[in-house]
Amino acid sequence: MTDKIDTLLPAELVERARQVIEANRAAGRRVAVAESCTGGLVSAALTEIPGSSDVFEDGFITYSNEAKIALLGVSLDVLETFGAVSIAVAWAMAQGAVKKSNADVAVAITGIAGPDGGDERKPVGTVVFARAERGVNPEAITADRREFGDLGRGGVRLQAALCALELLMPDAPSAS
């Protein structure tokens, strides 16, 4: 793309979002995101791209546990058993985003951006991702837990957004 996009967001994030929009447009796929620790950063990046409405279906910002339950149908039992920053919750968020939208694929992000909130088991910088695809067996879970370290709140959120965008690519790895 030769046109420069006027944006407040980091160039690396906008470029990755452009790649996601172009690749999913070519694949005929619509995408959704369910964001917690990124607070809408992935949605903002995707909507920076002119023509993103061809691809971007929905963005759910579910920062609180109550929002995860109300907007995405995450079970209170799952939240209480595994905690908000877990593969189980990320998976439920991604599944909920597919069910509550017309998207073909959804990615969920939940984590601890800091500076507080971490502990020995889940330190600051821990982020969990999951991807769900319409028509794919929900038992085939695509999820990952990353520990970015304490990069500062902005650094963790940026790295999380970049990883989430990578999972939205049509050629992202399948269920693990």
8-42 confidence digits (pLDDT tens): 899 999 999 999 999 999 999 999 999 999 999 99
DSSP at 4 = P
CA torsion angle 128 90 37 47 (round to 10): 110
CB 55 within 8 A of CB 30: yes
Q: If pLDDT is split at 50, 70 and 90, which confidence band does 3 have?
A: low
CB under 8 A, 24+ apart: contacts of 65-71: 68/36, 68/92, 68/93, 68/96, 71/96, 71/100
CB 89 within 8 A of CB 68: yes
The CA distance from 12 to 68, in Å, is 29
What pLDDT, on a 0 to 100 scale, did the predictor assign at position 174?
Answer: 57
The CA distance from 17 to 44, in Å, is 9
Residue 175 has pLDDT above 60, yes or no: no
The CA distance from 144 to 118, in Å, is 18
Residue 133 has pLDDT above 50, yes or no: yes
36-62 confidence digits (pLDDT tens): 999 999 999 999 999 999 999 999 999
Type of residue numbered 135: G
DSSP at 105 = E
Rg (CA), the chain: 15
Neighbour tally for 135: CB within 10 Å: 6
Residue 2 has pLDDT above 80, yes or no: no
The CA-based angle 128-130-131, given to 5 degrees, is: 160
Where do we find the tokens 């999380």? 160
% of residues, the chain, pLDDT over 70: 96
pTM of the model: 0.93
DSSP at 52 = G
Residue 1 has pLDDT above 80, yes or no: no
78-115 confidence digits (pLDDT tens): 999 999 999 999 999 999 999 999 999 999 999 999 99
The CA distance from 33 to 20, in Å, is 12
